[in-house]
Each structure stands twice: as structure tokens, then as C-alpha cells.
Amino acid sequence: MTDPKIALPKIALKGVRKQFGPKKVLNGIDLEVGKGESLVVIGGSGTGKSVMLKCILGLLAPDAGSIMVDGVETTKLRTREREKLLHKFGMLFQGAALFDSLKVWENVAFGLIQGEHMPRAQAKEIAIAKLGAVGLSPDVAELSPAELSGGMQKRVGLARAIADEPEIIFFDEPTTGLDPIMADVINELIVQCVKDLGATAVTITHDMASARKIADRVAMIYEGRIIWTGHAGDIDHSGNAHVDQFVHGRAEGPIKMQVRAL
């Protein structure tokens, strides 16, 4: 682990477990994400993808296991230290999770104003610049999030995630609920933003088109474990029946869906 020849992974998970009541959601996750790498975690609904992200962010406390960010154990952090650590992170939520009581620019500038105590005027300038970076014009800034379409909300969410230039960005199903063209626009933006910031990115998705576009490396999660990792190019010949079934979207295969005939 401390071998100096191997670069320190940005994020390293070891044996992370989390269960809700009798339901084991994470069953010993082992995963490493290198610095500046874009990892895409694929897996079906309810396989623990979101829970894993929330454990890394500390929104949920794992029952067991270790989560290291930049070589620092994060599972035992106190509130203050955790807040400091979260400065490194940005996250795009599945439903964008914009604050509907605030205007669009206030949403984008939120981390700057509240987290870094920047003056509002200065934060507004940055917010408008970031909105420009995701292809939104300055007049959108004064609208309220409820007035925007789903695709625009996602873009605002992306602008908010990159506003205070985080080292690590999480994307929670960035293309879910968007039409294919808007999905591709968002994918392009993600690739662009991650490259511009030089950030480490972790994306969870079940949209294979998105995964192919964003990923340097792909990991597949199944029944609370990482069952396969490999380069994005190897995904079509992974040699793993589960991955193969998922990538090609077949109903027949080792992964059984819980469906019952009526």
C-alpha cells in the first residue's frame, strides 16, 4: 500500500460494507481510483452504486471497511475535518438536487459563498462564467431552478459541481432521464470539464453509451461487490459473463432479474 513506486491512489476502498436492516447493500467493496483518472462504475439498479458514493462522501457511514482519500482514512473523521475534506469533492446528483429556494446563479455560487466565504458579487461573476462553460447564457442565471428543463437543470448541477474547482467529481447517473442528444451533450461536458480541471472523476451509470464516452476505466458492481474492472476499451471482451450480459443488455444470462409473470 505504501510502496513508493506505485502512485498513491486518489480514492481507495477496502472491504467496505453497508447494510440496511437485513439487506446487505455493500458486501465488501474493493476499489481504487488513480489521480486524474475517470472511472465509470456500471451496474443494475439497486446494486449499491449510489450507496457507495454516499459512503465515500461520508453521507452514510459504512458498517465496516476503510475508505482512504489521498491516503487519509475518512471513515472516522470528525464533522469539522469532514467538512474540510468535502472541499475536495464536487457532485452532480441524479435529479440535479438544485436548491429551489435560490436562483440559478446562487445555486452555482453556493459552495463559493457558503463554503469559501467569497463576496457575493465576485461569486456571481464566477457562477456566470461556469454557466457559460456548460453552455448556458447569463440570463439563465436570474431564473429559478423550477423554470428550467431537465437537461438545463443537469447543466446547472454540473456548473455547481465544478464551481469551486474540486479535485474529485462524482456523477450520479448523469444522463438518466435525458433524451439521447442531450445525454451526449452532458457526456461531452463532463469529459471537457474533467479534462479542464484535471480532476479525478467517478461516474455511476447504467447507460453504456455514456460509460464508453466518459470512462478511462470501468468497474462493474454486482450484489454489493466489484466483480470486474478493466480499461474502457476492454469492455466488449471482458471475459466475464456478468459484464457481457450487462454491456449488451440481454435479459438472459447469469444476472437474474426479480420479475414474476403475472
Partner 1 sequence: MDRTRAPTPRRGCRCTNAKSKDDRSAHRCYDRIAPTNLNKDAGRLMGFLAATGRAFLIFLEATGRLALFTGSALSHCVRPPLYPRQILRQMIDIGYYSLPVVGLTALFTGMVLALQSYSGFSRFQAEGAIATVVVLSVTRELGPVLAGLMVAGRIGAAMAAEIGTMRVTEQIDALSTLSTNPHKYLVAPRLIAGLTMLPLLVIVADVIGVFGGFLVGVYRLDFNAASYINRTWEFLQPVDVISGLVKAAIFGFLIALMGCYHGYHSKGGAQGVGAATTNAVVSASILILVWNYLITGIFFSTK
Task: Give residues in contact with partner 1 (CB under 8 A).
Answer: 19, 21-22, 54, 57-59, 63, 79, 83-84, 86-87, 89-91, 93-95, 97-101, 110-111, 114-115, 117, 160
Pick the closer one to partner 1 by CB: 32 or 172.
Answer: 172
> Cβ of residue 230: shortest distance to partner 1, in angstroms?
29
Task: Report residue 110 as a C-alpha cell.
Answer: 453556493
Taking the CA atoms of residue 254, residue 259, residue 261 and residue 262 in that order, the dihedral angle to the nearest 10 degrees is: 180
> Cβ of residue 30: shortest distance to partner 1, in angstroms?
20
Pick the closer one to partner 1 by CB: 32 or 106.
Answer: 106
Phi–psi pair at 22, nearest 5 degrees = -80, -5
DSSP SS3 for 104: helix
Q: Name the residue with cell 454516499.
A: 54
Pick the closer one to partner 1 by CB: 120 or 195.
Answer: 120
Pick the closer one to partner 1 by CB: 24 or 212.
Answer: 24
Pick the closer one to partner 1 by CB: 81 or 142.
Answer: 81
What one-character DSSP code corresponds to residue 206?
A: S
> Cβ of residue 160: shortest distance to partner 1, in angstroms?
8
Instruction: Tell me the CA distances in angstroms from 1 to 30, 75, 92, 141, 226, one per residue in order.
Output: 13, 18, 30, 46, 19
> Cβ of residue 82: shortest distance to partner 1, in angstroms?
9
Question: Residues 236, 253, 250, CA angle at the centre, nearest 5°?
Answer: 60
CB atoms within 10 A of CB 62: 23
CB 196 within 8 A of CB 189: no
